Amino acid sequence: MAYTFLTPKKIISGENALTDAKNELKKLGHKAFIVTDATMVKLGNVALLEDVLKQNETDYFIFDEVNYEPDDIIVAKAAQTYKNENCDHLIALGGGSPIDTAKAISLLLNDDAPLSSYMGKIIDINRPALAAIPTTAGTGSEATKFTIINDTTNKVKMLLTGPCLIPDLAIIDPLFSKTAPKSVTSHTGIDALCHAIEAYTSRKAQPLSDTFALSAIKRIFENLETCYNDGNNIEARVQMSLAALEAGIAFNNASVTIVHGMSRPMGALFHVPHGLSNAMLLKECMAFVVDGAYDRFGKIARYLSFTNIADDKMASEIFLDHLNTLLEHLHVPSMSEYGIDKNTYFENIEKMAKDAYISGSPSNTIKKVTVEDMMALYEKIYR
């Protein structure tokens, strides 16, 4: 069997990656449309990019109106501004939302068709050059062919996909993730861990996605807790920024599965940030999946040197113990602590399970997953 494997055209990573990317940024065009949010401006992260563009004598416009749940309205406003400002390329700077927004802007620059018309299709368009500079170690959007945008008319999260949405240039500079608060480090790091474990236990996994997934899982177990406890540990930040990229590349090619499938309805209904809803789901979802994938979880346990035991079932249990310990140390709030009303949550369990199933992601799981299985899991995770 043959496989296709997709990555960004060029990746510049490590300390000083932004400065080192100067020449590559210059090649993208004459006037950049910077897609970001107000926090990135306030933290001084945008100013660092501006410095590089000024040295390059590249003109730019800063669009800083992206919020954590980008929708079709903000994308349309941004695309119109891009045209009014006569920009000729896109640079996204921030977490997953600005990067997803920049990808969606490129669709509206292609033609006037609404974003919803791209749903369910493999998108293939010509777009302006796109660079992505992630500031959190998590979403992996800098390496993926996906964008998630809220459809304000139909009140659904649109998952749009196509290889042309993979950025041309990904700049992975750990300098930026130093500015992430503890909770963001925890939730985005767990999001990356979900990408990697789900990709490794996906029916669509392939040899190269396995390589990236295993490496990401190892780096995350070795560095996430350090980043969480000591945000200024630059080596741990470097390792986590690489892990998030590797995990993004893994799920770009192998897809996500049950955790992301169940996470999106929680975001849509209760506005739980993406990384946090994944974090709330991960432990119970993996406890459910494990008996369908002892060989895979066993390999993870041995790859991470948690054990050298040959018995896959016993090794899997050792991995799950380590996973649960890591999650405890990262202090993921429970749903009640986050303020989700128990009655409203339970009233919506059937809808969430059905919406998750329809999204298709749970069916990628190596173990068969039914709507009833997910209803039972949603019940279990409420604390």
Number of residues that bind Fe ion (CB under 5 A): 1
Please, where are the H alpha helices in 10-86?
Answer: 17-20, 22-26, 38-42, 45-56, 72-84
Which of 256, 252, 260 minimizes the C-alpha distance to 277?
260
b/e per residue, 210-223, with b = 16+ CB within 10 A? bebbbbbbbbbbeb
CB of 260 to Fe ion, least distance (A): 6
Taking the mean position of all CA atoms in its chain, how far away is CA 292? 25
198 binds Fe ion (CB under 5 A): no
Token pair in block for residue 285: 């979802």
Closest to Fe ion by CB, 67 or 80: 67
71 binds Fe ion (CB under 5 A): no
CB of 134 to Fe ion, least distance (A): 12
> SS3 for 310?
coil
Residue pair 380/284 in contact by the 8 Å Cβ criterion: yes
Q: Which one of the spans 78-86, 185-193, 312-320, 321-329 is the region binding Fe ion (CB under 5 A)?
A: 185-193
191 binds Fe ion (CB under 5 A): yes
356 Rama sector, left if φ>0, alpha if ψ -120 to 50, beta otherwise: alpha
Rounded CA separation 219/230 (Å): 16
CB of 268 to Fe ion, least distance (A): 14
Closest to Fe ion by CB, 191 or 317: 191
CB of 46 to Fe ion, least distance (A): 24
CB of 316 to Fe ion, least distance (A): 23
b/e per residue, 313-341, with b = 16+ CB within 10 A? eebbbbbbebbeebbeebebbebeeeebe
Question: Angle 336-353-186 (CA atoms, 0-180°, nearest 5)?
Answer: 45
CB of 141 to Fe ion, least distance (A): 9
Closest to Fe ion by CB, 191 or 355: 191
Q: Which one of the spans 110-118, 189-197, 231-239, 300-308 is the region binding Fe ion (CB under 5 A)?
A: 189-197
Closest to Fe ion by CB, 140 or 162: 140
CB of 160 to Fe ion, least distance (A): 15
Q: Which one of the spans 146-154, 190-198, 227-235, 284-292 is the region binding Fe ion (CB under 5 A)?
A: 190-198
Residue pair 137/192 in contact by the 8 Å Cβ criterion: yes
**Binding to Fe ion, residues 18-57 (CB under 5 A):** none
- Give the residue closest to Fe ion by C-beta: 191
Q: Which one of the spans 14-22, 184-192, 226-234, 374-382 is the region binding Fe ion (CB under 5 A)?
A: 184-192
What is Dmax (Cα atoms) for the chain? 63
Footprint of Fe ion on this chain (CB under 5 A)?
Answer: 191
